[in-house]
Chain A
């Protein structure tokens, strides 16, 4: 295949893609077209997801796994089909390995409490990185308080890249788990998960990966990565909020006690004792987020139909263009300049506080995130109180970056 042909093959029809997202047609602040650059906080939803959830409520709303009636059968079927979609997304072996959670946060907490807690002794170590989201810090801190274990933090460099050798040297016989983010929401850094897993395996230490920012942008294959736990949130990858998943190896899940007790997670209950349900239901107590799961499944289908090649193609162009233009701005510093980066640009601008930048560009229709991005240790490392952040999705276009840059210029003039 020659270069031109492969380019065309990877190319994304961005305008057709935009048509699938009704919110992108919105106007804000006196009829200005919405420029949505806060995709890392939560992405927008395509019609496919919205309609599937609507359809569930209109046509077959019922509880799952409980009824003999037709609606319940249909709901259960769609719910489990969604689980299989998530299995495909991660290239997992079996649906038994896919546990629905409220999102990444709950998935990490589940592993902390149901997997690691019973295995921890005072003085044991949990190793994470300096670029974690609070959701991959606080559950471990809580666990340390509960057990007397110690949280260790692997360092990063000024580009915002993980120092893998340092991490490797921090592993010892007391290390009971490594937790790491696949793609950093605050810096954009794509971490060498495979390499870390290889190192961890030598020491027989399980690895949990926070994949919240990975699945929207790249094909993830948990088997190829060699990790033990993988956590994701549907809303970062064009699905609904309040649903996500934990993937873990079947043998590990089998060994874990249930986390929460209640309905759905049992096969038989009596006052003498209770038998727990099979995987993955053992970890899904109570009526689940059914419409959410159905939307999640459709989000996976949306990614499959759009194709990661096209997504990466568009996002790389956006990142490259934005980076180039922003680097040329006097007094602008990009925080996070890793070689391998997702479509995220965190920055500070001399003389303009991120808060004020956020308010002013919003006025021109541009939605960006400002603040600590739930990664306060990252802010501390770079010694900034906060940053402004633009984050792209494949439905964004170059022209929107121009609008943003113009608005940023206005912010700078205004505050100067």
Chain B
């Protein structure tokens, strides 16, 4: 059942114990991801050096899907450059739109979130941490 796929163990686990959760000391970039309609409100903080994300963290309050997406994303971000993030965001958005496409190995565990494509109203939650991350990378702190 689609619902079991959305709320599968991996996703629930990331929601229950999100990785990289909390404030990041020494952050160089940050942005708020706020979806007033849903009530999601997170802060993404990054430490960037030598053109690569060295550390990433998020804090705030959000639904299970946003939380899991943020948790997986923070994990994935470490060691990536801004252009890589932008490229994979574009690919991820496409995967969420088209269930026929094969998983994208570059995205690793994030592919689990593709279950969201069966729940169009929740796609915005999945992408919120990505948008905040891209926004953070665009501004210098």
Residues of A within 8 A of B (CB): 353-356, 359-360, 363, 370-372, 376, 379, 384-386, 414-415
Contacts and interface: CB of A to CB of B under 8 A. Distances in A.
Nearest to A371: B37
A360 B64 CA distance: 12
B76 interface: no
B7 A355 contact: no
Interface in B52-68: 61-66
Contacts of A379: 39
Contact of A360 (B7, B38, B40, B61): B7
Q: Which 3 A-B pairs have the closest CB atoms?
A: A386-B39, A385-B39, A353-B63
Interface string B97-126: 000000000000000000000010110010
B3 A354 contact: no
B3 A370 contact: no
A370 B37 CA distance: 8
B40 A363 contact: no
A25 B99 CA distance: 31
Contacts of A363: 1-3
Contact of A356 (B36, B37, B61, B65): B65
B12 A360 contact: no
Contacts of B66: 355
B15 interface: yes
Most chain-A Cβ atoms within 10 A of its Cβ — which of B2, B63, B66, B119?
B63
Given A353-B64, A415-B7, A415-B15, A359 B36 contact: no
B6 A359 contact: yes
A415 B6 CA distance: 11
B75 interface: no
Contacts of A355: 38-40, 63-66, 122, 125
B36 A372 contact: yes
Contacts of B64: 353, 355-356, 415
Given A353-B63, A356-B63, A414 B37 contact: no
Contacts of A370: 38-39
Given A371-B38, A372-B36, A372-B37, A414 B61 contact: no
Interface string B1-19: 1110011000010010000
A331 to B, nearest CB: 16
Contact of B3 (A360, A371, A384): A360
Given A353-B61, A356-B64, 19 more contacts: A353-B62, A353-B63, A353-B64, A354-B38, A354-B63, A355-B39, A355-B122, A356-B65, A359-B3, A360-B7, A363-B3, A370-B39, A371-B39, A372-B37, A372-B39, A376-B36, A385-B61, A415-B7, A415-B15
Nearest to A386: B39
21 contacts: A353-B62, A353-B64, A354-B63, A355-B39, A355-B122, A356-B63, A356-B65, A359-B119, A359-B122, A360-B7, A363-B1, A370-B39, A371-B37, A372-B39, A379-B39, A384-B39, A385-B39, A385-B40, A386-B39, A415-B7, A415-B15
A359 B3 CA distance: 8
A180 to B, nearest CB: 24
